[in-house]
Amino acid sequence: MHEHRDRSADLRLRGNTRPLSVRVYWPGHGQPTARRAPLLVFCIVGAGGDGAETTCRALSSDAGLVVLSVICEAPDPPRDGITVLEWAAEHAAELEADPGRLLVAGEGTGATVAAAVAVAAGERGWPVISRQVLIDPAPASWPAGTGAAVAGAAVAPATVVTVSGGSWAADLGQTLRRSLGDSPSDESGRSATSFSRPR
């Protein structure tokens, strides 16, 4: 039985060329849960870390996820995301998360990196990703072929979110709960979904 109350912690992981700063967010359940939470790696690019704090906390709380956020930097942002994803897959149990329900996500250019990470994991066959969560993705910045690869058979299904204001995080949380089998209507077979919230 596990219980967390909206706590977070900072970690330093060994990257290829530099240490990687990672922040972990645990969902704040009022009651202990018998089932471990899914684990999501959230890719941040550039100065997006400030806004990502709110998004990561919302995803953790509303979708019941353990979230690891990482700032992915040049010259190879996807490599940073892959490093953290692989570490997360190996250490999920230590984070009190479910290694069988691993997700990758990002917002804007971070969604581009997350898609590239999912493609790389699909090509390698490990770690196995349950779902991509692409928030306001920036397809114009995707490397050639990434868009087609994201829809490929070896790549995890994607939840694509178009944000136009409102309390979208709560709606996304419910969508993810359904897609991961944590609510009665299971959407795990859907390859993509999108929604927007009016201002």
pLDDT (0 to 100) of residue 182? 65
What total number of domains does the chain contain? 1
Instruction: Please check whether residue 184 lies inside any domain of the structure.
Output: no
Distance CA 44, CA 70 (A): 6
8 Å CB contact between 86 and 70: no
Q: Which of 115, 91, 83 is nearest to 16 (CA)?
A: 83
Domain of 115, in residue numbers: 8-179
Instruction: Please check whether residue 127 lies inside any domain of the structure.
Output: yes
DSSP single-letter state for residue 127: S
Q: Which of 128, 45, 133 is nearest to 88 (CA)?
A: 128
Distance CA 15, CA 74 (A): 13
Instruction: Please check whether residue 125 lies inside any domain of the structure.
Output: yes
H helix intervals, 66-167: 77-91, 109-124, 146-150
pTM score: 0.81
8 Å CB contact between 8 and 21: no
Instruction: Please check whether residue 196 lies inside any domain of the structure.
Output: no
Partners of residue 72 on adjacent β-strands: 45
Spell out, as residue ranges, where the chain has pLDDT lower than 50: 1-4, 30-31, 184-193, 195-199
pLDDT (0 to 100) of residue 33? 58
Instruction: Please check whether residue 198 lies inside any domain of the structure.
Output: no
pLDDT (0 to 100) of residue 146? 53
Instruction: Please check whether residue 2 lies inside any domain of the structure.
Output: no
Instruction: Please check whether residue 191 lies inside any domain of the structure.
Output: no
8 Å CB contact between 8 and 24: yes
Instruction: Please check whether residue 73 lies inside any domain of the structure.
Output: yes
pLDDT (0 to 100) of residue 75? 81
Q: What is the CATH number of the domain that holds 68?
A: 3.40.50.1820
pLDDT (0 to 100) of residue 4? 45
